[in-house]
Every structure is written in C-alpha cells, then in structure tokens.
Chain A
Amino acid sequence: MSTTLPPRAVPEPGRAPESVAELIPHLEETWKQPPGLWAWLRSVDHKSIGIRTMVTALIFFLLGGLEAATMRAQLARPENTVLGPDAYNQFFTMHGTTMMFLFAVPVMQGLGLYLVPLMVGTRNVSFPRLNAYGYWVYLIGGAFLYVMFLLNTGPDTGWFSYVPLAGPEYAPGKRVDVWAQTITFTEISSLVTATALIVTVFKNRAPGMTLNRIPLFVWAMLVQSFMVLFAMPWVATASQLLAMDRLVGTHFFNQAEGGDPILWQHLFWFFGHPEVYIIAVPGLGIVSSIVATSTRRPVFGYPAMVLSLVATGFLAFGLWVHHMFATGLPQLGESFFSAASMMIAIPTGVQIFCWIATIWAGRPRFTVPFLWVLGFVVVFIIGGFSGVMVASVALDQQVHDTYFVVAHLHYVLLGGAVFPLFGAFYHWFPKMTGRMLSDRLGRWQFWLFLLGVNLTFFPMHQLGLDGMPRRVYTYLPEAGWGRLNLLATVGAVTIAVSVVLLLINVIRSLRTGAPAGENPWGGETLEWATTSAPRPYNFPLIPVVNARSPLWEETGPLRGVAGLRTDVCDVLVTTLLDAEPDNRHRHPPPTIWPLVAALATGVTFITLIFTPWGAVIGFPLLFLGFFGWAWPHGRDHREQLSIEAERPVEAGP
C-alpha cells in the first residue's frame, strides 16, 4: 500500500471504481489509527472504544471480585474479624455498585459497540465522538468512585442505597454523595452508548439487511438499548433528588415534611428491575450467536426469538414492585406484579426451548464457547426457578432480603450474563485480536467456574431459608450457618482460580495464540467476513446481503457497493425498514474534544458533591468542551454552501 498519495487521486463520486484493490490504499490512509498515546486519546473508532470499554469493565470485574472475596473471607466463620461493620458495609456496597454499574452494563455495551457495526455491515457507530465521550465519562466515574473508596469515603449504604439510611440524617459525610454521582457518570455513559447503538442499527445497516435479516445479537443490543433509554433516567433522577436532599435541604424522601422513603424505592426499582434485564438481554443475544455458529444452523424460530426479546424488554418495566413486597403495599397491587414477574419467565423460556431445538436439529461442535452456552442454560434456569419462587408474594415475604435472594440474583446474573460473556470472549477474541485463546485453558476455566459458582451460591438458598439475612457482617456461631458459609467461601476461591486462568489465557494468547484467520468457527454473520482484527474501516465495500446468515446462504465472494468517498470517513445511511441506500454521511476524524468534554463533565459533577456552585463552575467548562466538539473543523469545499446548491436536496418530511 502506498504511503504518500497524490493530493486528489481519489475516486470521483459517481465514477465507479474498477476493483476493490484500488480503494484499499485510500481507505487505509483515511481511516488509519496511528499508534501512540495522543492518537489513542483522540480515537473515535468503535472497535477501539469497544475494546477499551470491555477491558475497563473487566478491571472493575476483578475489583468487584476482590471485594467479594474479602466478604467471603469475613463470612467464612462466625464472628470473624477480617472486616468490621463499617468496612464490611463499604465492601458490599462497592461490590454491588461495581458489578452492576461499572462492570455488567458497560461490558455488554462495549461488546455491542465492537460487534454491532461489524454485524450490520457499516464502518463505525452512528455517533463516533459521542461514543468516545461515553467511554471517558465512564472511566472518570469509575476511577472517581475508587479513589474515594481508598480515601475511606466509599459509599456504605448498599448498591440500592435506601433512604432514610442514606439520607442526610443517618448518613453524614460524602459517602452517599459519591455513590449518587457515580450513578450520574455511568448513566450518562450508558445513555449515549445506547443512543449511538440504536441509530446505528436503524440507519447504518447493509443494503438488503431488512428487519427480519438482522442478527439476533443485534436485536438483543437494540432491545437493550431501548431499555437503557427508558430505565436509566429513573435512577439518574432519583440519585439527583437524593443528592439534593443531602446537599440543599430538599424533602423528597423526608416523611416529616411530606416526602416519602417509599418514593425512593419506586424510583430506584423502576430502573433497577429493567437494569437486570439490561444486563441479561445481551447475554441472550450472545447465546444465539454462539448456538448458531456452533450447531452450524440458524437459531430455530427467528420470529419467536425476536418477539421474545422485545416482550422481555417491555415486561421488564412492569415488575419493579416485586422488590417491595415487604413494605406493606396493598395486596391487589402486589398480586399484579406477582403475575407479571411470573409471566416474564415465558419469553425467556421460549428462547431456551428454541435453543435446545436448534441444538437438537443441528450438528453441535464442542468448542469452548459452546461449553459456556451449556453452562449458561444450567445456571440460568436455576436462577429462573428461584425467580419464580420470589415472584410469589407470600414466599418472597419469607426470603426477601435474605441469602436466598443473594443466591437467586447471582444465579441469574452469572448464568444469564457472565457465562455468555465468557463464551463471547472465546468466540470473538480471535476476531478482535487475530489469535485464538487456548482451548485447554478454556476448558479448565469453564469447569472450575461452573463448579465454583454452584459451590458458592447454591448453599445460599438454604442459608436464606434458614434465617440468614443479607448484608450482615457476621453471624452467631449458634445460628448454625457456619458450615454452609464456609462451603460458599471455598466456592468463591474456586471462582477466583478460574478467573485467574482466564487472565493467564488472555495474556498468553495475545502473544502466542494460534493465528485465527478470518472465520475460525465458520460463523455466518458479517463480522466473520473481514480480517481478524478488522481494518479500521471494517469492510472495503459496504456489504450487500439478502439472507439472514449471509456467509452461509450466499455463494461466491461477498457482494458490496462502492461509491463512498475514500478521502473522508464516508458511511452509508440506509432506510429504517428495508435498508435501502438513502444518503451518505461523513464521520469526523479523530479528535480530542470528547475527552475534554468528559473532563468538563467530571469536574462539574464532582464539584457538585461539595457545593451547588459546581453547576456555575461547570457550565462554562461544559460549554467550552461541547463547543470545541461541535464547531466544525476543517472545511470541505465540496460541501460548502453556495447560493446555487450543487445538487438539489430532497427535504424529508
């Protein structure tokens, strides 16, 4: 490929390039991602942002795991002295907050950011700078939380921070405010990512990728992104109301002045229940991808699968009161939520039955990703059963806020998200890095993890039924909970060993893993139709598809359309339903402004913890950051406005 190009030697619009090879040198030059820190800080490439999001999320996973390990060490014996009550309260709060806000949602969004543009056949997400901004805000928020934790100002009222315990009277100091602003950072990040993903799926699909040809993983990310849009504002608003109660004396949750502690629970759980599906739904999408590729056939029942995902997304918003069955709400209302909570098992069940049918009809290969799918089924359905149990009002009123719920939530989250996620690593690591992960280490890791999860969390069902509440830093020897707690701690050690194996596998394979080639698993979706790792522009031509599994159902070389400019980051915009080519859009080159805007956002929200003047200090900084971002840099003479427009533009409705 040439390193210096003649100034205007690019295909003129309208002139058909004669071959793909002609385009590549120009694409390489226009889309290049130079090495070095400065370029890394300015990158707006979805793959780079996606990977750094996943790596950051995995670091938080390790930190959350260390917190869990410490908690398990404390609980291994009654009246243990590893952690006193104050430290324990910070640890369990940090564990929940880290896992839910800093790991589970970002890692799935990061995976989606990486895969969705590739799977739909485009070159970047719809809003590259917004995407970069989202990552930096996430990083700043997570780093801020941990710095404060190390300064003994970590939150200590639980990841759902009930009032009045978290209010100004019973939680003095800044710990809860730190929690509230961490929410703000992570919520902004998730919302912008969700917006970018939705618009990518709506408007940037490959020509011919009609709605019923969209891969199931992309459907899952689409459903998840909509859920994020409608769920996250509830926790963002709630956390700001709490911050205001604590900082400026409002009374949203102060019953003495007409406020209501139960309002907090409604607001939080209206977000909190969809949140767990926001975490699980991408996992379901991953399972579909791996099942199809591993069984060498498309997942059975595509319409039922899509409808199940959509139904899950909707139903998830109608369940939240099941977290409040012990608060004394009217029984009729509780029955409604009990029914809805049981009902949501149906679409998930349908998906599992479709996967089993797919496996039955196909020819499965026992790859490591496939093992993770099998593990997912086993672990997730156990969580599903305990879920149906806690959906029952009276039974929930026994086990609510006990270790039974801890068991349930870990079974569904580990089963529904982490098992598929580890499967996703083994499945797509070759695509992302060009190298295979070690198969042998992968199998060891899988079996240890499966064993560890069950050893740790199955006994907790019994502990909860036996009277052990949640969030207790210790327990009496006479309670009889010592043996099962010790067993759970042994399980936690097993999990830790398994995770260490994963780390070793990743680090070693990055250097010496077997070369992967473009399509090591024989996959059917578009991400397997390009190099491993993909070039920054993903595909030399925008692919054209006319089937659900393009790489299986179409013969001959992959078809594509030319005509996009190669001197700027041009992408194709297609119509919503039928993905017909409609217009072209120019994406921005790498820029530092998203990072600047994120830093301004960080300064604003961190200062707001200490004084309302943070808004006054922050506003000019934010203005500068976003102005620098949005004000056009560099002019393109072909796009400049003149009184006679170059070509008439159809105004949309």
Chain B
Amino acid sequence: MTEMRIVGNVGNLPTTTFGHRSMAWWGTVGFIVIEGTTLFICAVCYLYIKQNFPTWPPEHILRPSLIAPAVQATLMLVSNVPMVIVDRAARRLDVATVRAGMMIMCLFVVVMCFLRVLEFQALNVRWDSSAYGSVAWATVVAHATLLVVETAETFVLTALVYSPRLEQRDVSAVSDNALYWYFMTGAWIPLAALVFLSPYLM
C-alpha cells in the first residue's frame, strides 16, 4: 500500500446537509434534467405535428374543455405554498411541522391524481384519433408519470417522517422532494397552456 501521511481531519464535518451541499440534491437535479428534457421533447413533438394541420384542433375534433385543467393548474401553483413551508421546516429540523405538512401534501397529491384523470377526459379527443390526439395525450401522459412517481414519493416520505427511527439525514430527503415538487408543478404550467390553451389561440 502506498504510504500516506495524515495532514488533516474531517471528523467534525456534518453528515446532514441540504441543498447543493447534499449529494442527494444533485441526484434530484439530475432526475429533473432528464425528465425536463423528456417533457420538452413532448412539447417539441406537439409543435412539430401542429404544422401538419391547417386548423388546430383538426376539423371535427372538439377543443379541450378548460375546467379541470384550470382547477389543476391552480391547485398545482397553490400547493407550492405548503411545500415551501415544509421545505423550510425540514431545513430547521422542525419535525413536527414537517409531519403535519407532509400529510397536507398527501392530500394535495391525491386530489391532483384525481384531477389528472379528469384532465384526460377534458382533452375531448382519443389518442388514436389523428396525430393531434396522439401528441396531446403523449404530453399529458409524460407529465402524469411525474405525478405518479411523486405520489408514491410523498406517501413514502410521510410514512418515513412519522417513523420513530427517523434519522437526521432522512429529513434532507424531504427538502429534495420539495425541489422535485417545484419542478413537477412548474413544468406543468407551460405544458398545460400548450395542450389546453393553444387550440383556442391558434
């Protein structure tokens, strides 16, 4: 073994960190980049296909209904408020607030899933009914996978923060999850505008 000489000691460094100091945060960012690219690709396909049609939506296809999407978009934006509160509480290691807040996020995410089903119906077109239907569904399905993953993540994290054997570093996961939440809700706004509003504007 090569000889090594001790020139310092890092034993006092913390083991729980938040934000860019934490490796898991970077992993979350990586995941966001990958999924964000995928959502961007769906939007690109949507706009590309749109060029093939003189009217949008194509003839004989109804425009999407706007109620469910409007409610969902509002809910997504609003949900960031408790998420920020939970995020800040996590960074303070304020477990009580985190626990209560995660329960609220569970409620939010369940309602969002329910609204997502309504949003599919609001498209007013089947996925196999012209390329218009296909790209509209593809965009909403792609985002729906984020929602499904986030639903599982929210419930599991809530269970974790209630566990008596909770460790400090698990609290950092709550903060990483908040970052993902901001991404999921933020990415939906332009996509929803594209899929639900552009048939009215073009």
Query: Contact residues of A with B, CB < 8 Å?
Result: 11-17, 19-20, 24, 126-127, 130, 191, 194-195, 198-199, 202-204, 207, 229-230, 232-234, 236-237, 241, 244-245, 248-252, 254-255, 257-260, 263, 266-267, 518, 529-531, 535, 539-544, 556-565, 572-573, 576, 581-586, 619, 623, 626-627, 630-632, 635-636, 639-641, 643, 645, 647, 649-653
Q: Which residues of B contact A245 (CB under 8 A)?
A: 134
Nearest residue (CB) in B for A619 is B148
Which residues of the partner chain A approach B45 to less than 8 Å between Cβ atoms? 237, 241, 252, 263, 267
Partner of A641, one of B3, B128, B166: B166
The answer to whether A244 touches B134, judged by C-beta atoms less than 8 angstroms apart, is: yes
| A639 pairs with B5, CB closer than 8 A | no
Question: Can you offer 19 A-B residue contacts whose CB atoms are under 8 A?
Answer: A15-B11, A191-B34, A207-B8, A233-B37, A244-B138, A250-B133, A251-B130, A251-B131, A267-B45, A559-B5, A561-B6, A561-B10, A563-B9, A573-B21, A583-B14, A619-B148, A623-B152, A643-B95, A649-B93
Q: Which residues of B contact A255 (CB under 8 A)?
A: 52
Q: A244-B138, A583-B15, A635-B167 are in contact. Are A263 and B49 (CB under 8 A)?
A: yes
B83 located at the interface, meaning its Cβ lies under 8 Å from any Cβ of chain A in the complex: no
Tell me, in angstroms, the Cα distance from A601 to B30 when the chains sit together: 20
Q: Which B residues are CB-close (under 8 A) to A562?
A: 6, 8-11
Interface bin, chain B: 35 or more
The segment from B68-76, B100-108, B168-176 that touches chain A is B168-176
Q: Across the two chains, which residue of chain A brings its CB closest to B9? A: A563
How far does the Cβ of A599 sit from chain B's closest Cβ, in whole Å? 18
Chain A: minimal CB distance from B58 (Å)? 7
**Please, which residue of chain B has its CB at the minimum distance from the CB of A529?**
B2
Contacts of A582 in B (CB 8 A): 13, 17, 21
Contact A252 to B5, CB < 8 A, known contacts A583-B13, A583-B14, A627-B156:
no
Chain A residues near B114 (CB-CB < 8 A): none
Contact A251 B5 (CB under 8 A): no
Closest to B53 in A: A258
Minimum CB–CB distance from B78 to chain A (whole Å) comes to 24
CA–CA, A637 and B10, complex, Å: 20
Which chain B residues border A12 with CB–CB below 8 Å? 11
The answer to whether B19 and A259 have CB atoms under 8 Å apart is: no
Select from chain A the residue with minimum beta-carbon distance to B58: A258
Q: A199-B23, A237-B38, A641-B170 are in contact. List 4 more A-B contacts (CB 8 A).
A: A558-B3, A561-B6, A563-B11, A632-B160
In the assembled complex, the Cα of A229 lies from the Cα of B171 at a distance in Å of 28
What sequence of 0s and 1s flags, for each residue 129-156 of chain B, a beta carbon within 8 Å of any chain A beta carbon? 0111111011000100000100010001
Q: Nearest-CB distance from A22 to chain B (Å)?
A: 10
Whether B37 pairs with A17 at a CB distance below 8 angstroms is no
B4 touches A558 (CB 8 A): yes
Which of A233, A572, A583 has a CB less than 8 Å from the CB of B34? A233
Q: How far is the CB of A553 from chain B (nearest CB, A)?
A: 16
Interface of B, secondary structure class, is helix
User: In the assembled complex, which residues on chain B have CB atoms less than 8 Å from the CB atom of A207?
Assistant: 8
**Minimal Cβ-Cβ distance residue in B for A571:** B23
A241 to B44, CA, bound (A): 13
Residue numbers in B under 8 Å from A126 (CB-CB): 23, 26-27
- Known A-B contacts A251-B134, A258-B52, A639-B168; the reply to A20 vs B4 at CB < 8 A is yes
Say whether A195 contacts B2, CB under 8 Å.
Answer: no
A233 to B148, CA, bound (A): 19
Q: Is the CB of A14 within 8 A of B12?
A: yes
* B130 touching A640, Cβ below 8 Å: no
B168 touching A199 by the CB < 8 A rule? no
Query: Closest chain A residue to B88 by CB distance?
Result: A651
In the assembled complex, B16 has its CB within 8 A of some CB on chain A: yes
What chain B residues lie within 8 Å of A259 (beta carbons)? 49, 52, 131, 134
Cα–Cα, bound, A576→B8 (Å) = 20
Q: Are A651 and B92 in touch, CB under 8 angstroms?
A: yes
Report which residue of B6, B34, B37 has the largest number of chain A beta carbons within 10 angstroms of its beta carbon: B6
Instruction: Give the distance in Å from the alpha carbon of A257 to the alpha carbon of B125 in the complex.
Output: 14
B14 cross-chain contacts in A, Cβ below 8 A: 583-584, 647, 649-650
Across the interface, which residues of B come within 8 angstroms of A630, CB to CB? 156
Which residues of chain B come closer than 8 Å to A619, judged between CB atoms? 148
Nearest A residue to B19 via CB reads: A652
Whether A653 contacts B11 by the Cβ 8 Å rule is no
Interchain CB contact under 8 A, A564 and B41: no
Cβ–Cβ contact A229 & B52, under 8 A:
no
Beta-carbon nearest neighbor of B161 in chain A: A641
**Nearest neighbor of A19 in chain B, beta-carbon distance:** B6
Q: Are B9 and A652 in contact (CB under 8 A)?
A: no
With A229-B37, A237-B41, A541-B6 known as contacts, the answer to whether A13 contacts B11 (CB < 8 A) is yes
Chain B residues contacting A540 (CB-CB under 8 Å) are: 1, 4
Nearest CB on A from B158, distance (A): 13
**B165 partner residues in chain A, CB cutoff 8 A:** 632, 635, 640
Which chain B residues border A518 with CB–CB below 8 Å? 2
Distance of A531 Cα from B2 Cα, bound (Å)? 7
* A16 and B12 alpha carbons, distance in the complex (Å): 11
Which chain B residues border A249 with CB–CB below 8 Å? Answer: 127-128
Rounded to whole angstroms, the CA-CA distance of A530 and B19 in the bound complex is: 33
B7 lies within 8 A of chain A by Cβ? yes
5 interchain residue pairs of minimum CB distance: A652-B19, A563-B11, A249-B128, A258-B131, A195-B30
Contact B12 A13 (CB under 8 A): yes
B42 at the interface (CB under 8 A from A): yes
Which residues on A sit within 8 Å (CB–CB) of B171?
641
**How far is it, in angstroms, between the C-alpha of A651 and the C-alpha of B89 when the chains are bound?**
11
Q: How far is the CA of A349 from the CA of B21 in the complex (A)?
A: 38
Cβ of A260 and Cβ of B170 under 8 Å apart?
no
Which residue from B3, B7, B19, B128 sits with its C-beta under 8 Å from A544? B7
Given the interface pairs A15-B11, A631-B156, the reply to whether A250 lies near B137 with Cβ below 8 Å is: yes
CB contact under 8 A between A250 and B20, given known A632-B160, A639-B15:
no
Q: How far apart are the CA atoms of A562 and B9 in the complex, in Å? A: 5
B91 at the binding interface (Cβ < 8 Å): yes
Asked if A572 and B138 make an inter-chain contact with CB atoms under 8 angstroms apart, the answer reads no
Considering only CB atoms, which chain B residue lies closest to A203 in the complex? B23
Across the interface, do B30 and A199 meet the contact criterion of CB distance under 8 Å?
A: yes
Q: Compute how far the CA of A236 lies from the CA of B152 in the bound complex, rounded to whole angstroms.
A: 23
